[in-house]
């Protein structure tokens, strides 16, 4: 029996970045709970039965509008929007992207802000706007502990040990902080429409990282380990479902206690 508190059966979700590590877990988890899921991603890939994949760049309003029109006509107005698509500099990013703050490339700053902030803003405008017209919905904007707090640059000492320059870049942190207040802005703006808007802030997800990094990272986490992708799903289901009916403008922090000390 579905627990009515967390019941998502028959509802419709839009998950951006749904082809990625976490987005694919969200898509599978929401489909398992009986949702129909539209996956918006610039990357192609397989989706489970019950989901549909759309090649969409979240920085392009026209593309988002076209998908929304299709989703609305076939499935109705979405109930849940998960703004999960994002850019971060990968560990093997070009040297200038992981170099000193003073010379961090302007183009990289623009690219990261474009996807992480403008992309979230546009999906809120288009998909969240439809939910507001429909009189109900839940928007979940994904942030990071690096948007809540500064990255701990010492975590990357192991990369510097061999003489390499490595600075965890600034743009991702700035973009993920912007998400926190976009959430608060919209939570109050849409409060009377029945649309709730919350942030889901995650810590580092286990992804086969080098042991040196794992040692440095987990030493700073009270729970002593990285986040398992499946553990982010629990908080998402809470925010997506009626279990969180009195929660809006909040930041649900899933960080193993990282921000507690």
Ligand X SMILES: NC(=O)c1ccc[n+]([C@@H]2O[C@H](COP(=O)([O-])OP(=O)(O)OC[C@H]3O[C@@H](n4cnc5c(N)ncnc54)[C@H](O)[C@@H]3O)[C@@H](O)[C@H]2O)c1
Chain residues that interact with ligand X, rule: CB under 6 A: 16-17, 19-23, 40-43, 56-59, 84-88, 115, 119, 142, 144, 202, 204-205
Q: How far is the CB of 204 from ligand X (least distance, A)?
A: 4
Toward ligand X, which CB reaches closer, 42 or 180? 42
Q: What is the layout of strands, in order, in the sheet containing 80-83?
A: 51-55, 36-41, 12-16, 80-83, 137-144, 195-202, 251-254
Residue 87 or residue 170: which is nearer to ligand X going by CB? 87
Q: Cα dist. 141→1, 158, 187, 224 in Å?
A: 29, 32, 11, 26
Alpha helices in 61-163 (DSSP H): 61-75, 106-113, 120-123, 129-134, 145-148, 157-160
Cβ neighbours for 246, distance < 8 A, ≥ 6 positions apart: none
The nearest distance, CB 226 to ligand X, in angstroms, is 8
Residue of minimal Cβ distance to ligand X: 20
- Give the whole-angstrom CA distance, residue 79 versus residue 2: 18
- Nearer Cβ to ligand X (105/194): 105
- Comparing CB distances to ligand X, the nearer of 20 and 78 is 20
Query: What would the two tokens of residue 54 be?
Result: 């759309």
- 3-state secondary structure (DSSP) of residue 211: helix
What would the two tokens of residue 136 be? 């109900």
Least distance to ligand X from the beta carbon of 163, Å? 26
| Smallest separation, CB 76 to ligand X (Å) | 23
Shortest Å, Cβ 137 to ligand X:
20
- Smaller CB distance to ligand X: residue 134 or 214? 214
């Amino acid at each position: 029996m579905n627990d009515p508190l967390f019941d998502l059966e028959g509802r419709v979700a839009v998950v951006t970045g749904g082809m990625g590590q976490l987005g694919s877990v969200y898509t599978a988890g929401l489909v398992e709970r009986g949702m129909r899921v539209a996956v918006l991603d610039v990357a192609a890939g397989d989706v489970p039965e019950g989901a549909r994949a759309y090649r969409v760049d979240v920085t392009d309003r026209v593309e988002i509008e076209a998908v929304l029109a299709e989703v609305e006509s076939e499935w109705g107005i979405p109930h849940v929007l998960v703004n999960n698509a994002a850019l971060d500099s990968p560990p093997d990013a070009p040297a200038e992207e992981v170099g000193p703050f003073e010379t961090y490339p302007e183009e990289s700053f623009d690219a990261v802000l474009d996807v992480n902030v403008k992309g979230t803003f546009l999906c809120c405008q288009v998909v969240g706007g439809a939910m507001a017209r429909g009189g109900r919905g839940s928007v979940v904007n994904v942030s990071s502990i690096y948007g809540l707090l500064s990255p701990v640059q010492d975590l990357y000492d192991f990369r510097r040990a061999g003489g390499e320059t490595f600075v965890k870049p600034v743009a991702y942190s700035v973009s993920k902080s912007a998400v926190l207040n976009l959430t608060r802005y919209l939570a109050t703006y849409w409060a009377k429409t029945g649309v709730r808007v919350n942030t889901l802030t995650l810590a580092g997800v286990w992804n086969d990282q080098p042991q040196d990094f794992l040692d440095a990272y987990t030493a700073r986490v009270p729970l002593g380990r990285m986040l398992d992708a499946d553990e982010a799903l629990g908080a998402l289901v809470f925010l997506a479902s009626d279990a969180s009916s009195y929660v809006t403008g909040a930041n649900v922090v899933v960080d193993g206690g990282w921000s507690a000390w």
